[in-house]
Amino acid sequence: MSIALRTLLYKEVLRFWKVGFQTVGAPVLTALLYLLVFSHVLDRHVEVYGGVSYAAFLVPGLVMMSLLQNAFSNSSSSLIQSKVTGNIVFVLLAPISYREFYAAYVLAAVIRGLVVGAGVWLVTLWFVELPYAHPLWILFFATLGGAILASLGVIAGIWADKFDQLAAFQNFVVMPLTFLSGVFYSIHSLPAFWQTVSHVNPFFYMIDGFRYGFFGQSDVSPWISALVAGGSFVALTYATLNMLARGYKLRS
Amino acid sequence: MSISDPSAALLIDGVCKRYGSLQALDHVSLTVRQGEFFGLLGPNGAGKTTLISLLAGLGRADSGVIRVMGHDVVAGYRDARRNLGVVPQELVFDPFFTVRETLRIQSGYFGLRRNDDWIDEILHHLDLHTKAEVNMRALSGGMKRRVLVAQALVHRPPVIVLDEPTAGVDVELRQGLWAFVRDLNRQGHTIVLTTHYLEEAESLCGRIAMLKQGRVIALDNTTSLLARPIHQTLRLRLRGDIALPADLRAVARATADGRVALALENADAVSACLARLHAAGVGLEEIELVRPDLEDIFISIMREAA
Ligand SMILES: Nc1ncnc2c1ncn2[C@@H]1O[C@H](COP(=O)(O)OP(=O)(O)O)[C@@H](O)[C@H]1O
Ligand SMILES: [Mg+2]
């Protein structure tokens, strides 16, 4: 890792860490509220896997949802802030390649996602006891899911010229895809049509694979989920690097 | 010296840049030699900032070649950028960090890890050492401007470009800044500067390029520019509020001290002008004939190019 890449990564991590109350504390609290409300209200109404309580089922979904949203939020909001305030120029003036640029923003966002995800997991330990059937799958899907959303965040942050465009991207793309991915339910409990729809949502595979790491059971095989998530990451990385190489909206 | 001189600090050859239907730069060619103090002048919108952003790699030229210390800004961007320090025109900063953090991070971007000795030296020269641990948000505009200068210097670039560094800056800071930049030039750094204050350019720059609507309309030593046999400048203080005759208004401008300056061909034109004024009934309180300064030259060149 070059010094330039390490510095940009360090700067990006320091940026969210300095305001950790908002960037880590707030999403952990939100996830906790979801857990308290949903697990209480839905416990008897939602059918999940045999032998797994609804609250236990919900926790990995919440961890992953928070992780994904915060990874997206980190790269996208950092980029749009730097663009709007103009301080992106300091990075653009430096001898940093577009690949290093991409790597730094994605890695920092993955770290933010993992820190928030770990935070949610830690506070929910008080309420729910979880099995850990395949810890490596847990780490694999957490990291890959974070990287996918980080990449999407880079695209959104570069594309958006204003904060409301970014908010639209978040509200109309990221939120629906996360909510409809099986965070709150097993898709087997859905009508056939919605099951089919869920299967074309890449977020579903990240959450399903992540959950497999805990319970050893899931809606689809973790290998299929790994393939879909891996493929999504490769495709997004390719698209983002292409954008950066052309200097789209950054080097006009 | 040829345009392709490999030892040039900056080589700009046939550079064009278009924004939609606007031709921001139109076949700009110029060379800045190592060690020069070079001025880039022109009215607002002439394309100075656009040219700087192309040499810094912040934008890409539609055509033409730009090299910094021999390195192409596209193909050899890493070396080109290592050799270049740019002070941007806009007062930008990152509100998350202190002055020292900002400078350490900027050093890191250039691959420099333990750079604190040099950072302290820059801070000292720019009178920023007492602000090292202060958050960027808490600094005044002038202080932020100094940090921008410091950021451009962390990697000791041989070529330093300052885009209107004294716009909106108080006199004291301006003088301090120029003393510092002059020192850097004496130590061998090449300096390129754009400014609105023509008297600054006149006293600092050895050579000057004038840009208008994306084209270089003059490129010469400052002394040669000033020695142009263009005209005499007649400065008048008018009595009352009688307007100048229309033909004279075309060569007149108002000066900062409320007088009228007229750029005239020669001594005959001066006496003809005075006769015209007398005939038109314009009363005069004061008459002065002066050597043209850079501003007069600038205005006359801009007019010739119109
Ligand atoms: N990103 C841009 N998009 C569209 N037009 C631009 C852009 N940047 C500069 N311009 C236009 O290009 C011209 C030159 O601008 P600029 O280089 O900033 O001039 P100067 O620095 O000499 O005042 C101006 O007309 C300006 O409006
Ligand atoms: Mg400008």
Per residue in A110-136, pLDDT (tens digit) is 999 999 999 999 999 988 889 999 999
- Identify the domain boundary among B226, B249, B272: B226
Atom of ligand 1 nearest to the CA of B48: 22
- Statement to judge: residues B173 and B301 lie in one domain: no
Atom of ligand 1 nearest to the CA of B59: 1
- Statement to judge: residues B158 and B202 lie in one domain: yes
Identify which of B77, B86, B111 has the shortest CB distance to residue A4. Answer: B111
pLDDT at B108: 98
- Statement to judge: residues B185 and B282 lie in one domain: no
Concatenate the DSSP letters of all residues of A98-158 into one string: HHHHHHHHHHHHHHHHHHHHHHHHHHHTTT-----S-HHHHHHHHHHHHHHHHHHHHHHHH
Residue with the bigger pLDDT between B234 and A224: it is: A224
Judge: B112–A3 Cβ closer than 8 Å, yes or no.
yes
- Statement to judge: residues B172 and B260 lie in one domain: no
In this structure, is residue B281 part of a structural domain?
yes
Report the alpha-carbon distance of residue A215 to residue A217 in Å, rounded. Answer: 5
Q: Exposed, middle or buried: residue B65 (CB in 10 Å: 0-12, 13-18, 19+)?
A: middle
- Identify the domain boundary among B166, B192, B226: B226
Identify which of A4, A15, A247 has the shortest CB distance to residue B109. Answer: A4
CA-nearest residue of chain B to A82? B94
CATH number at B297 reads 3.30.70
CATH number at B148 reads 3.40.50.300
Chain A contact present for B75, CB below 8 A: no
Burial B263-301 (b: 16+ CB within 10 A, else e): bbeeeebbeebbeebeeeebeeeeeeeeebebbbbbbbb
In this structure, is residue B2 part of a structural domain?
no
Report the alpha-carbon distance of residue A117 to residue A114 in Å, rounded. Answer: 5
Q: Provide the Cα torsion B130, B136, B139, B144; round to 10°.
A: 100
Longest dimension (CA), chain A: 58
- Statement to judge: residues B74 and B198 lie in one domain: yes
Amino acid at A183: V
In this structure, is residue B293 part of a structural domain?
yes
pLDDT at B229: 64
Report the alpha-carbon distance of residue B14 to residue B22 in Å, rounded. Answer: 17
In this structure, is residue B173 part of a structural domain?
yes
pLDDT at B231: 66
Report the alpha-carbon distance of residue B301 to residue A112 in Å, rounded. Answer: 57
Backbone angles phi, psi at B40, to 5 degrees: -115, 105
**Which residue positions in chain B have pLDDT lower than 70?**
1-6, 229-231, 306
Q: Is B47 in the pocket of ligand 1 (CB under 6 A)?
A: yes
In this structure, is residue B83 part of a structural domain?
yes
User: Cα A18 to the chain's mean position, in Å?
Assistant: 21
- Statement to judge: residues B51 and B148 lie in one domain: yes
Report the alpha-carbon distance of residue A59 to residue A211 in Å, rounded. Answer: 9
The count of other CB atoms within 10 Å of the CB of residue B58 is: 21
pLDDT at B52: 97
pLDDT at B204: 93
- Statement to judge: residues B66 and B188 lie in one domain: yes
Element (H, E) at A89: helix A88-92
For residue B170, what are the domain limits?
A: 10-226
- Domain count across chain B: 2
- Statement to judge: residues B191 and B264 lie in one domain: no
SS3 of A207-240: the string is HHHHHHHHHCCCCCCHHHHHHHHHHHHHHHHHHH
Find tokens 């210097």 and name the residue. Answer: B153
- Statement to judge: residues B198 and B253 lie in one domain: no
- Statement to judge: residues B237 and B216 lie in one domain: no
- Statement to judge: residues B90 and B173 lie in one domain: yes
Judge: B111–A15 Cβ closer than 8 Å, yes or no.
no
Measured between beta carbons, the chain A residues lying within 8 angstroms of B90 are 86, 89
Spatial contact of A57 and A217, defined as CB atoms under 8 Å apart: no
Which residue's CA is the nearest one to ligand 1's atom 18?
Answer: B49
Element (H, E) at B19: strand B10-19
**Whole-structure pTM value:** 0.88
Identify which of B59, B110, B113 has the shortest CB distance to residue A95. Answer: B110
Which residue's CA is the nearest one to ligand 1's atom 17?
Answer: B47
In this structure, is residue B58 part of a structural domain?
yes
How far is ligand 2, taken at its centre, from the CA of residue B194, in Å?
8
Spatial contact of B126 and A111, defined as CB atoms under 8 Å apart: no
Q: Provide the Cα torsion B161, B164, B170, B176; round to 10°.
A: 20
Judge: B60–A247 Cβ closer than 8 Å, yes or no.
yes
Three-point CA angle B211, B215, B217, nearest 5°:
60
Report the alpha-carbon distance of residue A159 to residue A173 in Å, rounded. Answer: 14
Name the residue of B49, B53, B192, B216 whose CB sits within 8 Å of the most ligand 1 atoms, as the mutation to test its pocket: B49
How far is ligand 1, taken at its centre, from the CA of residue B23, in Å?
9
The count of other CB atoms within 10 Å of the CB of residue B221 is: 12
Identify which of A87, A97, A252 has the shortest CB distance to residue B94. Answer: A87
In this structure, are strands B159-163 and B63-68 parallel, antiparallel, or unpaired? unpaired
Residue with the bigger pLDDT between B64 and A191: it is: B64
pLDDT at A236: 97
Quote the percentage of chain A above a pLDDT of 90.
Answer: 76
pLDDT at B230: 60
- Identify the domain boundary among B207, B226, B245: B226
Report the alpha-carbon distance of residue B278 to residue B264 in Å, rounded. Answer: 17
In this structure, is residue B1 part of a structural domain?
no
pLDDT tens, A44-79? 666 667 778 888 899 999 999 999 999 999 999 999
Q: How is residue A64 written in tokens?
A: 């992953």
Which residue's CA is the nearest one to ligand 1's atom 24?
Answer: B45
Distance from B103 to chain A by nearest Cα, in Å? 11
- Statement to judge: residues B16 and B34 lie in one domain: yes
Spatial contact of B3 and B216, defined as CB atoms under 8 Å apart: no
